[in-house]
Amino acid sequence: MEAIYGIPIIGLIVQFVVYFVTELPGFSGTIVAAATPIALGSLCGFMNERSGVVNIGIEGMMLTAAFVAWWAASIAAQLLPNIDFGLLGITLPLLIGLLAAIAAAMLVSAVHAWLSISVRADQIISGTIINIFAVGITGYLNLLISQQSPPSAGRFEEWRLPDFISDLPVIGWLFDALLGVGPIGLTMLISVVVLQVLLFRSRWGLRTRAVGEHPKAAETVGIDVIRLRYRNVILGGAFAGLAGAYLTIEFGSAFQGEMTAGRGFIALAALIFGRWTPIGAFGAALLFTASTGLERSIRFAAPEGALGEFLTGIPLQFYSALPYLITIIVLAGVVGRSIAPAAVGRPYERESKAA
């Protein structure tokens, strides 16, 4: 082993892999926690773009949902009895917050759907409007509400795995990291698998892909393009709602202005990097947040020797920029090209029936 370290580049790579694998169990929990809102945001984008609607407003939808989840849970905590369901920290106020967040994000999605499908406005402008509006309205209301310092409703709890699973040799930590999450995190994991199967194995999936790639052909075989697009875009909003709620009632328990901090855009990047599939987007989200995890691990426990010098020599900001750089490279087709559904961005116009 030591002999390999002598060979400059290969030695460095081997050293790096060894370092990464030994450090990984330590920060895997943080990676999954950070990846959850991004993966959920990607699922929102997935529902939109697979059926032919661009959505760059994921960020705004998430921010709105984050605010509504926190606010609704706080109000519910003041008005309603604090019934504890005794499972994963689920209480009545938190449940109400979660449902309100999903409803709010679906409402915003409905506006996006209306603008991009019925009004046939530019879909990117519609997304931009959502982003600007969300920052404004949440900032405005947050400032007014926080003056009265409302109580926090707390947050969901992570699932504590039975010891015999966590104690499994070699892979115990993996289960611990993936499944040791709260109700929203678990929903995300289930949704990723279910949507992946549905996309390629169900009637809905086939129709959605048809509408996203060639709506005219889809209409000819009797698929209602407009209706399917509406349904998918609005349902997609539910995932943005979960993503936002995750930030304020599962990962944290308070709202701050602009707290999504670009996660909605990373979600878009993850969707592209994952080639518009749920599993791919989830993998991309993990990979992206791993670069943040790596940054942290290098800061606190840098490896020794030449590798340590090399890694600490790289500016820490580079790791934060890495997801975006990778996305550009993938999109440009330098390393394995990622291609969007063909009809994304085009409003569908039905041929006139009168003729």
Q: How far is the CB of 328 from another protein (least distance, A)?
A: 5
Q: Which of 24, 174, 235, 331 binds another protein (CB under 8 A)?
A: 331
144 binding another protein? (CB under 8 A): yes
135 vs 245: CA distance, rounded Å? 16
How many residues are there in the chain? 355
Q: How far is the CB of 119 from another protein (least distance, A)?
A: 5
Q: How far is the CB of 41 from another protein (least distance, A)?
A: 13
* Nearest alpha-carbon partner for 160 in 29, 55, 269: 29
247 vs 190: CA distance, rounded Å? 19
| Residue type, position 287, single letter | L
Residue pointed to by tokens 């039975």: 162
Our CB check for another protein shows the closer of 179 and 331 to be: 331
Our CB check for another protein shows the closer of 83 and 132 to be: 132
327 binding another protein? (CB under 8 A): yes
Looking at residue 151, the DSSP 8-state letter turns out to be P
333 binding another protein? (CB under 8 A): yes
Q: Which of 39, 66, 269, 307 binds another protein (CB under 8 A)?
A: 269
Residue 301 backbone zone (phi > 0: left; psi -120 to 50: alpha; other: beta): beta
Burial class (CB in 10 A: 0-12, 13-18, 19+), 304: exposed
Are 34 and 289 spatial neighbours (Cβ–Cβ below 8 Å)? yes
| Residue type, position 284, single letter | A
Element (H, E) at 117: none
How many residues in the shown chain lie near another protein by CB under 8 A? 58
Residue pointed to by tokens 């997304």: 127
Token pair listed for 36: 């959850």
Q: How far is the CB of 122 from another protein (least distance, A)?
A: 5
Interface segment toward another protein; rule CB under 8 A; list 51-59, 93-101, 248-256, 282-290: 51-59
Interface segment toward another protein; rule CB under 8 A; list 7-15, 138-146, 224-232, 279-287: 138-146
Q: How far is the CB of 46 from another protein (least distance, A)?
A: 15
Our CB check for another protein shows the closer of 83 and 316 to be: 316
Are 123 and 53 spatial neighbours (Cβ–Cβ below 8 Å)? yes
217 binding another protein? (CB under 8 A): no
Give residues in contact with another protein (CB under 8 A): 52, 54, 56, 115, 119-126, 128-133, 135-137, 139-141, 143-145, 147-148, 257, 262, 265, 268-269, 272, 315-318, 320-321, 324-325, 327-328, 331-334, 337, 339-346
